[in-house]
Structure 1
Amino acid sequence: MIDPADLPALHASYGGLWLRDDGQTRALAKGQAIARAAETPVLLLNAPLAGQRLGYPELNGLDLLELWAFVHPARFLVPTAKGLAQALDLAPPIDEADIPALLQQATAVLLDRLGAADWAEREGGWTAAQSLHRLRWPWAPLVAPRIAKPREAERWLFSRLPEWDEAAPRPAPRTIAMEGDAVLAQLDRLTGTTAETRPGQRAYAAAAIDVFRPRRHRDQPNMLLAEAGTGIGKTLGYLAPASLWAAQAQGTVWISTYTKALQRQLDRESLRLFPDPATAAKRVVVRKGRENYLCLLNLEDALQGGFSGRAAILAQLVARWAAYSKDGDMVGGDLPGWLPTLFRRNGSTALTDRRGECIYAGCPHYRKCFIERAARASADADIVIANHALVMINAARGRETGQRPQRIVFDEGHHLFDAADSTFSVALSGQEAIELRRWIIGPEGGSRGRRRGLAARLSDLASYDEEGGNAIRAASEAARALPADEWLKRIVAGEPFGPLEELLAAVRGTVYARAADTGEADAGYGLETELAEPDGTLVEAAQEAALALDALLRPLSRLSGRLEAVIEDAPDWLDGAARARIEGAVVSLSWRRDLLSAWLGLLARIGGPADPDFVDWLAVDRIEGREFDIGIHRHWLDPTRPLAQTVLAPAQGVLVTSATLRGGGEWDNAEKRSGAVHLPRGAERFEAASPFDYPGRAEVLIVTDIKRGDIAALSGAYARLIEAAGGGTLGLFTAIRRLRAVHARIADRLARSGLPLYAQHVDPIDTGTLVDIFRDDPRSSLLGTDALRDGVDVPGHSLRLVVMEGVPWSKPTVLHAARKLAGGGNAYDDRLIRARLAQAFGRLIRRTEDRGCFVILSAAMPSRLLSAFPPGTPIRRLTLDEAIITVSAQAHRDSLGGVLPLGHQGSESGNADLERE
């Protein structure tokens, strides 16, 4: 067998290139490194990232991340040299030149584990190695000989997965009254006897009890808005009454988040409730949308030849993971976030149910389905950890009525408005319409895949019920009026086919005609225009499209009626599996009928009166000038109205909580953006300020000498600030284009100083993994956009400087303009900006001993927005050179372990008027 020490190892970074071969490590030029990697397989760590650093994106080799995914599927790993060393108990590299030697050592350790008697993930390994050898996986010649062939044939993955069982519906929760002393005792059990007592946390837990008391009014829930500053410990604060109520009432509490990071954190915290992992898995269930989970039927198709090349290798590694996964969650679960990115475009999206293809009980793996298992487990769980979108969609579509959440905790409650805005919106676009066509008709022409149309999914109904069969055929025929494959090419070429494509062509023509007046058409960004004063061509096209959609809606409605009748008649062929499949079809038909009805309402607006409750506009979606969709959009002017009606009002108790719930404003802002304003009696309020010493441990620096739009100056400012801090910097941008421009200018410079720089939308790494890398290396820095402004928890020395490129003004969209007009003009804008600033500042101080600077590179920072920062936080306006001195002095104090306050003489309070005229 090959000795790992004989394999050459290559490390590529912005700081240089190093190759270890024949026991020697030497630096290489780019051309030499590319030539060596092309002529013989070399050991690498994250081949796509190394290829990007080399300027050779097709770089391949022996990627240790792929080997890790085979040897230890479903185990966490920070995908860096340091992370790999820590996971394997090896000495971490001192500098980058030591990394190639580490790669050789790590390879030896991982390969040796394949022959170890205590290799925990042995089952299925031999079979997977043989399959990967046939697929020419680069690691296969080293892996396969080291795995002993089992005495008995290994079972296939699908026979090893456990089945879920049907269970009787859970009774309604008991009506109980919890005592405050009992809740505080539960809090003490969760925090531990040695934990420091937090008065704010105890007050928070006591206030949350009201959400779990019997509902007082028939027309609204017991609702509490609770702003708990960072460091209060609100997670355990609401888990204490929630877990106690669930145990005593025998009911389920839904905890809803906005970010996957908080979902993972809550899942970890559940071990405080149930220290035994097996018990925790039953009592605490994580729920997400279907598109997050591995579809076993898609995986089977991929393993049996549906994928080829690198994508087939990914499918085999995902199958290894599926056998050991906790819940089959591919997005934010225990599948390493970096794994799909190793396969570039041959990613994992085809392995999830992203296109509404699920055939429910018609699937051979239905009783082992991860999605169905999670749905059933949540019915008997004490705590269900979900997300805002899932809670709202289930309520809006009437799914799982027996499990409709009655006690809900909306954590990250400041995002409720945005989640509702997305959930209750409507878009009649080319992409949405062609998906509906495919769902009804199935595969057409040369299209591949297992997509099945209505006729194939309900063939037994068509043979049993003549009226149902006629409805299926009528729907399939009417669906041909929807856009077909290559619809966008035809529209761009001026050759639309069918009434819906004619409508989209008219929309495109209107958008471009109006954009020409503003000069936006050549900017390369997406284009939009208000749906007002439509011309005759657009009105006529809308009328023809409405007739086509109505012709489709009618047979779908008849089909729904026939399916419901079949369930009632219970014919001989309707066994349990068939019943479940038809019930699934009824649900799918229901929400697609709702979609068609919403489209018809939107088309009625064209040429008709405007509805004051909605904002309608036309859009052409583009990326760098390339069109990818065209459509008509409708959003609620106030999306918390349907939120209050469909989600809040039917519940028994609702807690909406966040560290920045008011967004740096007044309580009426929280009332409006949570939906409480639409309930007859509003909501109770609770507030607990953060216990952190912001005046002594944080400082806001507003840099006044960076000219807006000067990319060179902006880049220089970021580089100098990161160097002054010695890394540990989170850089936030409002535009991807500027982020990329700054990264391109400063990455090499920082790497030469030993300061790694990572960037969202640049590095071929998912956002969650980027944060893991940033958290693990105190000298690294991370650039990103809105996704990094919220939900990023990096306590300690790894994050000591936050830099914003400027004031995060809202984009001047049609929707924003309408809401600004209705919400009080500039005051509406100010509330949004304060909320964003408060959220960004909240990334800086996450625990008592943290300290840091928050820098805004904009002289145009209005004083009226400074109330976004905690009271007493020092705020100074100064030049870049002065900011560099301040940041450098802080870094020096940290290196000495000093505890001097960050405030300086002359600093002014965050509430003071600092505007310089």
Structure 2
Amino acid sequence: MTASLPHPALHASHGGIWLATAQETRQIGRGEAIRIAADTPVLLLNAPLIGQRLGYAELSGLDLLELFAFLHPARFAAPTPKGLARAVDLSPPDRDEDVAAFLREAAAALLAVPEGDWPEREGAWAAAQSLARLRWPWAQVVAGSIRKPATDERWLFSKLPEWEEHAPRPAPRTVAIEPGEAEARLVELTGEGSEERLGQRAYAAAATAAFAPRAVRDSPNLVLAEAGTGIGKTLGYLAPAAIWSERAGGAVWISTYTKALQRQLGRETARLYPDERVRKERVVTRKGRENYLCLLNLEDALQGGFQGRAAVLAHLVARWAAFSADGDMVGGDLPGWLPTLFRRNGPAALTDRRGECVYAGCPHYRKCFIERSARASADADIVVANHALVMVNAARGREVSTRPTRYIFDEGHHLFDAADSMFAAALTGQETIELRRWILGPESGGRGRRRGLQARLSDVASYDEAGGVAIQDAVEAARHLASDGWLQRLAEGQPFGAIEALLAAVRGLTYARAEQPGDAGYGLETELAEPTAELIEAAAPAAAALDALVRPLVTLGRRLEAVLAEAPDWMDAAARARVEGAIASIGWRAETVAAWLSLLARVGGPVDADFVDWLAVDRVEGREYDVGLHRHWLDPTRPFAEIVLKPAHGALVTSATLTGGGDWDTAEARVGAPHLARAAARFEAASPFDYANNAEVLIVTDVKRGDIGSLANAYARLIVAAGGGTLGLFTAIRRLRGVHGRIADRLAREGLPLHAQHVDPIDTGTLVDIFRDDAGASLLGTDALRDGVDVAGDSLRLVVMEGVPWPKPTVLHAARRLAGGGSAYDDRLVRARLAQAFGRLIRRADDRGAFVMLSAAMPSRLLAAFPPGVGIARVTLDEAVARVQARLGSGPGETLPKIATLGHEAALDA
């Protein structure tokens, strides 16, 4: 096969650039590489990444990742030479200079796949023909390897199974779990003869209280459980959850904050239901609508809605959809690296991000991934979701009868932040223009299948006169919302309409009062206090415009409910489902506009102590992208407790750092317990890990604050001392990029790959997969990596933080700080963040590593964030490098010398 593939292979890393042909492999310069890539189709791996390293953004060629996605849809391979080698069963290249030659070998191995037993053969020939018409670089090569099938193949939309409608599930029965039952089920799950973990048994017993029958309305059985890493929380709560679900006939919703934990739950539930077929029925993962492939959007893309490279992506996604387990494009079985290969917004256009679903009006409704997931969850025993979806369903759910009565909130320390996002209001240009598009549909010759409210509900308008009038009134009112080009008009001082005039006044006042942040060019904000006459004058007509919009939306919702109640002759099951979906969508948007009106009433009006209001101009590197007014609850757990917790019968909130940074009163306040009539039960179990011998904390005292050169030197020396395996955490993207730019080449010469968020054109989940896959690699990132990265073993043995993670001094933070005790509030947040970051280091009993803080100003009062017994020392950079090298270079059986330290308690008093 290699003989039929004459193309050269190109590989670029921070250590150099190599070109491999059939005759030789040679190192070349950047200019020659760009000339060759521009003139000759070359084999490469991850074109955007290679293009970035060459400084040639338009690099294209025969990307092996695209070929892999075509041949093996819904399979994952780490997008690295090592990951690809494992996927095609080849020996991985040992050195950077060997990668280019390996790519030629890997291409031959991939192209040999169609000649053998190929599970994903169906549909490949037809897809290859379509891709050939789009001039996909691999099309001609692939077409020669795939035989035309003897009979016509089933295409995606005919291949996908249809979901079936079932009778509503009855309400769960009232049952009680007897003492000892959860522990006995836990033994079954862990296996007879396994190591007895007393902490896990105690945890399972404590979690059982969340499944007891509720005694008083609006007073759920709330259990707060803090269990250190290694206790085995997942099986600990799955044991009583499974017992309750089996006996009560109800679903237990397990809510997480990160996709990593959702994947872990998918693995752990295999212990509950070893039979895969049974597990698919009993365990369902739910996500928001915007995560799933919309088949109608895909059909539009395949029929000309997408052009050029975006159209190629659509066909590769169609290949994937035919083999996907659930159609989840974000965190599911679609490789996270696939959309990033296309540098455009194509993936977003393939999901329902604008809430434009027509439900039963869609020709693919019976095959819809979203609807299938929703119906499967209605019959499941265990539903794995995320905090945001749980809150959205509780606040906007169409069926009150199907709401869960039992919740488990894992990663419960994130509930406050999730509620903060969910129950906030933002009257901004971006928000209003999205609402305008939802009501009016495409304007100014816009392409695509999107339709406005009139088109989506034309049959209702023709049947119900009052409903038709309401639709027309909503359409007319929506024309006063911000429209295309609004940002340019604001910059030129020529706003159009009442809403744009309001945004112009907001922008002017924000620039007048906001202080420039330390990272110049980023967002600006100022309190909504003492508004100017211009802002007050602009608020009145804006409120009138929004009032003219919300009234017909409310009327339309009522008219649609009346149409449902009357059940006219044309109202079949499909039409009913479509109208029900429209009622939910209209209700959601009417609530949004009502929240905007409430926010505008604050302009020139009285202060509401329950809320924090401010004005903001959102910018990225000096470029404005949004302007508006914002409102957040001072305590977002109040609506969370009211909407989610009170209707439930029981809830378990659990985390390894539930009290992180504070005490139990702090933990209760962060999850809404004080807003319930019944007190929460508490459980606490320390981690079984030997932190004293397996980990240490080093505080480096001689790295100059704010000096990028000194910071970069420290990171480079520490990463080299550890031999890679380093997670570098930053509090600012600018500093992350500055350090990466200075050390990537230096580390490459040591044979240590370096990856980075906000630098590499790769999604965060894939970056973590790459990091996990190579024990010599290191990863730099920001807050998203501080909590939620689960990398056990040698791949993560050193965590380096560039500074104390103080909260950003925003208007919202200032208000909460004032209400929460001033500097003590800041300290609690920082201790929680430090505890979460340290938690990345030791993930299993045999892990060992070091945690390094590059901050001479690290206050001793914050050291309580680290586990009791762990050694803490303030050292110079030279000492830290020597200590990291000694600790991480020792064999697993060697005993490390104790560090010269103040000791944990003494350090706190220093």
Assess if the C-alpha contact under 8 Å between 1:224 and 1:685 holds in 2. yes
Does the alignment pair 1:869 with 2:863?
Answer: no
Q: Which residue of 2 aligns with 1:137?
A: 136
Letter in structure 1 aligned against 2:269: S
Pair 1:730–1:520, CA change in 2 (3 A): closer
Does the alignment pair 1:484 with 2:483?
Answer: yes
Deviates more, 1:619-628 or 1:393-402: 393-402
Letter in structure 2 aligned against 1:730: L
CA shift at 1:62, angstroms?
A: 0.8
Assess if the C-alpha contact under 8 Å between 1:699 and 1:902 holds in 2. no
Q: Which residue of 2 aligns with 1:54?
A: 54
CA shift at 1:561, angstroms?
A: 1.3
Pair 1:79–1:902, CA change in 2 (3 A): farther
Assess if the C-alpha contact under 8 Å between 1:699 and 1:903 holds in 2. no
Assess if the C-alpha contact under 8 Å between 2:2 and 2:105 holds in 1. no
Q: How does 1:148-159 map to 2 (within 5 A)?
A: 148-159=147-158
How far apart are the structure 2 equivalents of 1:526 and 1:738? 17
Q: How does 1:833-912 map to 2 (within 5 A)?
A: 833-893=830-890, 896-901=891-896, 903-904=898-899, 906-912=900-906
**Cα distance per residue 1:404-426 (max 9 Å; x no partner):** 12100000000000000000000
Q: How does 1:104-115 map to 2 (within 5 A)?
A: 104-115=104-115
How far apart are the structure 2 equivalents of 1:520 and 1:278? 54
Does the alignment pair 1:260 with 2:255?
Answer: no
Does the alignment pair 1:562 with 2:559?
Answer: yes
Letter in structure 2 aligned against 1:806: G
Q: Which residue of 2 aligns with 1:35?
A: 35
Deviates more, 1:383-392 or 1:96-105: 96-105
How far apart are the structure 1 equivalents of 2:59 and 2:758? 20
How far apart are the structure 1 equivalents of 2:270 and 2:631? 43
CA shift at 1:520, angstroms?
A: 5.2
Assess if the C-alpha contact under 8 Å between 1:4 and 1:107 holds in 2. no
Assess if the C-alpha contact under 8 Å between 1:866 and 1:911 holds in 2. no
Q: Which residue of 2 aligns with 1:818?
A: 815
Could you say what secondary structure the match of 1:481 adopts? Answer: coil
How far apart are the structure 2 equivalents of 1:68 and 1:356? 32
Assess if the C-alpha contact under 8 Å between 2:2 and 2:108 holds in 1. no
Letter in structure 1 aligned against 2:905: N
Could you say what secondary structure the match of 1:214 adopts? Answer: coil
**Cα distance per residue 1:523-570 (max 9 Å; x no partner):** 211000000000111111111111111111111111111111111111
Alignment coverage as a number of residue pairs: 910
Assess if the C-alpha contact under 8 Å between 1:521 and 1:527 holds in 2. no
Letter in structure 2 aligned against 1:339: L
Q: Which residue of 1 aligns with 2:74?
A: 74
Q: Which residue of 2 aligns with 1:501?
A: 500
Q: Which residue of 2 aligns with 1:450?
A: 449
Pair 1:235–1:521, CA change in 2 (3 A): closer
Unaligned runs of 5+ in 2: none
Q: Which residue of 2 aligns with 1:621?
A: 618
CA shift at 1:177, angstroms?
A: 1.5
CA shift at 1:106, angstroms?
A: 1.4
Q: Which residue of 2 aligns with 1:269?
A: 268
Letter in structure 2 aligned against 1:690: S
**Cα distance per residue 1:354-380 (max 9 Å; x no partner):** 111111111110111101110110000
**Cα distance per residue 1:165-200 (max 9 Å; x no partner):** 111000111111112333222212221234321110
Could you say what secondary structure the match of 2:483 adopts? Answer: coil
Could you say what secondary structure the match of 2:218 adopts? Answer: coil
Deviates more, 1:295-304 or 1:263-272: 263-272
Letter in structure 2 aligned against 1:867: A
How far apart are the structure 1 equivalents of 2:549 and 2:207? 48
**Cα distance per residue 1:87-145 (max 9 Å; x no partner):** 222111121122122212211111111121x2000111111011111111111111112
Assess if the C-alpha contact under 8 Å between 2:305 and 2:447 holds in 1. no
How far apart are the structure 2 equivalents of 1:4 and 1:846? 47
CA shift at 1:664, angstroms?
A: 3.4
How far apart are the structure 2 equivalents of 1:4 and 1:805? 51
Letter in structure 2 aligned against 1:45: L
Pair 1:90–1:902, CA change in 2 (3 A): farther
**Cα distance per residue 1:267-291 (max 9 Å; x no partner):** 1222111112221111100001111
CA shift at 1:240, angstroms?
A: 0.8
Q: Which residue of 2 aligns with 1:25?
A: 25
Pair 1:749–1:521, CA change in 2 (3 A): closer
CA shift at 1:36, angstroms?
A: 1.7
CA shift at 1:5, angstroms?
A: 5.5
How far apart are the structure 2 equivalents of 1:837 and 1:195? 33
Deviates more, 1:325-334 or 1:23-32: 23-32
Q: Under a length normalisation based on structure 1, what TM-score does the superposition of the two structures give?
A: 0.98
Q: How does 1:265-664 map to 2 (within 5 A)?
A: 265-515=264-514, 518-519=515-516, 523-664=520-661
Pair 1:211–1:658, CA change in 2 (3 A): same
How far apart are the structure 2 equivalents of 1:577 and 1:163? 14
Match of 1:790 among 780, 787, 792: 787
CA shift at 1:841, angstroms?
A: 0.1
Deviates more, 1:674-683 or 1:609-618: 674-683
CA shift at 1:909, angstroms?
A: 2.6
How far apart are the structure 1 equivalents of 2:754 and 2:653? 36
Q: Which residue of 1 aligns with 2:93?
A: 93
Does the alignment pair 1:722 with 2:719?
Answer: yes
* Structure 1 runs, 4 residues or longer, greater than 4 Å off: 519-522
How far apart are the structure 1 equivalents of 2:909 and 2:176? 53
Letter in structure 1 aligned against 2:12: A
Could you say what secondary structure the match of 2:867 adopts? Answer: coil
CA shift at 1:891, angstroms?
A: 2.4
- Determine what percentage of the aligned residue pairs are the same residue: 71
Assess if the C-alpha contact under 8 Å between 1:775 and 1:794 holds in 2. yes
How far apart are the structure 2 equivalents of 1:496 and 1:332? 40
Pair 1:444–1:25, CA change in 2 (3 A): same
CA shift at 1:398, angstroms?
A: 3.4
Pair 1:835–1:519, CA change in 2 (3 A): closer
Could you say what secondary structure the match of 2:852 adopts? Answer: strand
**Cα distance per residue 1:757-797 (max 9 Å; x no partner):** 00001001111110011011010000000000011000001
Could you say what secondary structure the match of 2:905 adopts? Answer: coil
Pair 1:682–1:348, CA change in 2 (3 A): same
Q: Which residue of 1 aligns with 2:11?
A: 11
Q: Which residue of 2 aligns with 1:913?
A: 907
Q: Which residue of 1 aligns with 2:218?
A: 219
Pair 1:443–1:346, CA change in 2 (3 A): closer
Assess if the C-alpha contact under 8 Å between 1:696 and 1:902 holds in 2. no
Could you say what secondary structure the match of 1:3 adopts? Answer: helix
Letter in structure 2 aligned against 1:96: D
Unaligned runs of 5+ in 1: none
How far apart are the structure 1 equivalents of 2:143 and 2:519? 55
CA shift at 1:446, angstroms?
A: 2.0
Assess if the C-alpha contact under 8 Å between 1:11 and 1:45 holds in 2. yes
Q: How does 1:734-773 map to 2 (within 5 A)?
A: 734-773=731-770
Letter in structure 2 aligned against 1:82: K
Letter in structure 2 aligned against 1:908: L
CA shift at 1:519, angstroms?
A: 4.9
Pair 1:603–1:521, CA change in 2 (3 A): farther
Assess if the C-alpha contact under 8 Å between 1:512 and 1:521 holds in 2. no
How far apart are the structure 2 equivalents of 1:723 and 1:601? 56
Assess if the C-alpha contact under 8 Å between 1:735 and 1:785 holds in 2. yes
CA shift at 1:502, angstroms?
A: 0.6
How far apart are the structure 2 equivalents of 1:458 and 1:720? 64
CA shift at 1:213, angstroms?
A: 1.3
Deviates more, 1:38-47 or 1:794-803: 38-47
CA shift at 1:915, angstroms?
A: 7.0
How far apart are the structure 1 equivalents of 2:897 and 2:211? 43
How far apart are the structure 1 equivalents of 2:81 and 2:337? 14
